[in-house]
Chains A and B, each alone.
Chain A
């Protein structure tokens, strides 16, 4: 906290708002500590706040639809609580929110400042770009927002979104106001008029009504039903017999109990079934990665409903989010941010090796690099799921055999235990390196 922010911070702290939000779990806990610990980096600092370390830092383009929606609602709720105490938020950046398991938490103490009577909502446009418009894109057109958001870290502007919306949607008054009108009025000609309006006073009640109306609207948004999803039904529609499924769960549970990971990474987590098994077996937290939006949303809902410390994130295993933003370093790549003690790669490698032609040895290396212990499932070509991947293409995967897989694992690690699934002939390997 530097001198120019001192007055605002002291004012906000003394209103009791920070304590209230911390107690609700909406604001990350942070306590002032001795300023000298940052004497070298920030000699001018008047306050230094320390907060508990987050399990993993994630960005909005990695969140599921329901996660971005929860983050949007948190942003509005924090702002409304602030206004009740004469405090406001200077911005509305989605990057000010992080997740602890499936729970959104506000992290930016510097966003709070004294509310001045009649002031406008400075963060309105940013809120639209970083929360509302990505949600509307998926809700009204069925197009997932993640790829676009990753391509433009500022989110989706009204000018870009408006032309994509069906006419029927554009005429809904809320879409009309926040998207269509905002896109039409974003011109230099309007600037003079805006200057005139900005000298007027926005009544506090009007300000709050705008926030509550957005909250009501966003609460009711759901992803469009037209959205394609391939793997959502996988947990109920797969090639395991009931006995095999039970043995696979027991094997994973035994592995987790043996390793006691602080953070377990569930690659290709699907609807989060095995993430939940891992938590029950003693994993302190789980991050799941999944590229199918329907499965990802289901995994998030499962974690929310069960109060599980599981955060499912959107990730195409063949193209995880890169290091990007200012100077290419502002938002580090996803794999750099994951510091896991254990990894699960169940029913995953045939997608990478057969569907996407990644050499089997590279797939195994990529998985083992994540953590010093893990379970990898080998799905043989004879398996119906692998057959489905092969049915429309020539089999050029002579090296995709179990012996080769085991040799790749043993080149990097020690095999602690294995489990053969009888019906499907799949093999689970517990490695330790």
Chain B
């Protein structure tokens, strides 16, 4: 009955919250994005 597209980002986040995705693995995958975010680049898409 699930007719809704849950969205891939939502799945990853749920996995993160439930600890299914290793934090280390995620950091490796998205380290550059996170770093850009934290240092505060404000404009322009990141992808």
Contact = CB atoms under 8 A, between A and B. Distances in A.
Contacts of A5: 1
A121 interface: yes
B16 A177 contact: yes
Contacts, number: 107
A197 B29 CA distance: 14
B5 to A, nearest CB: 8
Contacts of A185: 8-9, 12-13, 30
Nearest to B6: A122
A404 to B, nearest CB: 55
Nearest to A163: B42
A391 interface: no
Contact of B20 (A4, A91, A181, A197): A197
A191 B37 CA distance: 21
Interface of B: 1-21, 29-30, 33, 37-38, 40, 42, 46-47
A91 to B, nearest CB: 5
A180 B1 CA distance: 29
Interface residues of A, number: 46
Contacts of B4: 90-91, 122-123, 126
A193 B12 contact: yes
Contact of A190 (B3, B8, B19, B46): B8
A126 B5 CA distance: 9
B18 A194 contact: no
B9 A125 contact: yes
A196 B22 CA distance: 13
Interface string A175-203: 00110111111110111011101101111
